[in-house]
Amino acid sequence: MKKGSKIFNVLGLMLMSTLIVSCNENISNNKNDEIKIGITLYRQDDTFISSISSNLEEISKENGDNFNKNIVLEFVDAKASTINQGNQVDKFIKQDYDVICVNLVDRTAAATIIDKAKSANIPVIFFNREPVEEDMNRWDKIYYVGAQAEQSARLQADIVAEEWLSNKNYYDKNKDGKIQYVMIEGEPGHQDTLIRTEYCIKALNEMGFQLEKLADDTANWQSDQANSKMNQWIKEFGDDIEVVFSNNDVMALGAIYAINSNSNIIRKPIVVGVDGIKEAIESIKIRDMTGTVISDANAQAQAIWDIAINLANGISLEDVIGSEREKYKKIPHTKVTIDNINELSNE
Ligand code: BGC
Ligand code: CA
């Protein structure tokens, strides 16, 4: 029976690909009436990435009619596999897409994608996971849209500094004048992991704070991994943790869950994240999370859209990225704490 269903699947696939091919023939006949933008995501289930994609879809719905062309946005999920992502890019190239947007699975492996796109003369917009500079220089029709990682780290440091100084007696649990902290990192090698981890501590040092690291580990941008790390650290350090730095919000929320469900914690530490997702805003409102730094998914989606549409229509990119020769668009951040949360949520 298994064999039978396999044969059926193969037949089904053949039929489907014939349909796709014939559709494509139609599409390429009407190429001038259509703009096709292919978007491959490193993982569709990543909260922040799914927020960029839903913003892009929204922008496309609102602006699609401004052009006399049908605009097709095709999202595909690479499911954390470089091989899947390579195949998805190949397919976009074969189907003659106008622009390809890539949220890299492995940010050090952009060269193959760039070289293939270059030989097909299809521009590529990388986003959120930044290729190394050497790869960005392989061709002039490649762009990067992301956030200003150093600024997010510095704003995290500001939040910690303000909160610490507002109630030093409470937060400096061992009264040694230093900040005992743990650091929950995103995926190793991701530019936001490296830069956020380094600069939040650097910024606090520059402000004159002394810090002592109790522990530091990756939770790969994931809440459940952060939760188990935090549980482990609470077992190890008990109530000695004074600040929890997290490279993103979902991991900060995982840590807060561990803090709230652990009776070893008598005074809650300061907890800071990055992204500004809905759940983090709710957590700040009930004073669980101290603060976060908004990484503007809507502005990033808008930049991807503007660059893609201009490229597809042969319009200059100067308005979007400053100068024709510029390749980077990095969106600034805003910090959120209980002090400004109402202003921001009313926006
Ligand atoms: C975000 C994370 C996200 C990651 C994905 C980062 O900029 O802060 O929440 O998981 O990008 O690449
Ligand atoms: Ca201390």
pLDDT at 19: 39
Any ligand 1 atom below 6 A from CB of 130? no
The mean pLDDT of 229-242, rounded to a whole number, is: 97
51 lines ligand 1 (CB under 6 A): no
Instruction: Say if ligand 1 is within 6 A of residue 185 CB.
Output: no
**212 in Cβ contact with 179 (< 8 Å):** yes
- Determine the angle formed by the axes of helices 47-63 and 249-260, rounding to 10 degrees: 140
Query: Each residue of 141-184: pLDDT tens digit?
Result: 999 999 999 999 999 999 999 999 999 999 999 999 999 999 99
State residue 8's pLDDT score.
41
Residue 20 pLDDT greater than 70, yes or no: no
Residue 65 pLDDT class (50, 70, 90 cuts): confident
Name the closest ligand to CA 270.
2
Burial 212-247, CB ≥16 within 10 A → b, else e: eeebeebbebbbebbbebbbebbeeeeebbbbbbbb
Neighbours of ion ligand 2 (CB under 5 A): 172, 174, 176, 178, 180
Expressed in angstroms and rounded, the spacing between residue 48 Cα and the centre of ligand 1 is 6
For residue 17, what is the enclosing H or E element?
helix 2-29
Print burial letters for 12-34: b (CB count within 10 Å at least 16), e (below 16): eeeeeeeeeeeeeeebeeeeeeb
Weakest-pLDDT range from 52-61, 71-80, 106-115, 312-321: 312-321
Just give the CATH number of 149-295+338-345.
3.40.50.2300
pLDDT computed for residue 33 by the predictor: 83
Q: Pairing mode, if any, of strands 124-127 and 142-147?
A: parallel
What pLDDT is stored for residue 32 in this prediction? Answer: 66
End-to-end CA distance of the chain: 58
Per-residue confidence band for 324, with pLDDT thresholds at 50, 70 and 90: confident
Q: Please tell me the distance between residue 283's alpha carbon and the centre of ligand 2 in angstroms.
A: 25
Q: Do domains 6-146+297-330 and 149-295+338-345 have the same CATH topology?
A: yes
Please choose, from the candidates 318, 320, 270, the residue with its C-alpha nearest in 3D space to the C-alpha of residue 167: 270
| 71 pLDDT higher than 90 | yes
- Ligand 1, residues 248, 253, 274, 304: which to mutate, most atoms within 8 A of Cβ? 248
Atom from ligand 1 closest to the CA of residue 275: 8
Ligand lying nearest the CA atom of residue 168: 2
323 CB contacts (<8 Å, ≥6 apart)? Answer: none
Can you give the pLDDT at residue 301?
98
C-alpha torsion sign, points 100, 120, 144, 113: positive
Sorted by where each begins, the domain ranges of the chain are: 6-146+297-330, 149-295+338-345
pLDDT of 61 over the 70 cut: yes
Tell which one of 192, 272, 274, 278 to mutate to probe ligand 1, the residue whose CB is within 8 A of the most ligand atoms.
192
0.75 surpassed by pTM: yes
Verify whether ligand 1 is closer than 6 Å to residue 164 (CB atom): no
Q: Is residue 209 within 6 Å of ligand 1 at its C-beta?
A: no
Q: How far is the CA of 258 from the centre of ligand 2 (A)?
A: 21
Quote the pLDDT of residue 197. Answer: 98
Mean predicted lDDT score pLDDT of the chain: 91
In the CATH hierarchy, which fold is given to the domain comprising 6-146+297-330? Rossmann fold (3.40.50)
pLDDT (tens digit per residue) in 257-305: 999 999 989 999 999 999 999 999 999 999 999 999 999 999 999 999 9
- Give the pLDDT mean for 7-21: 42
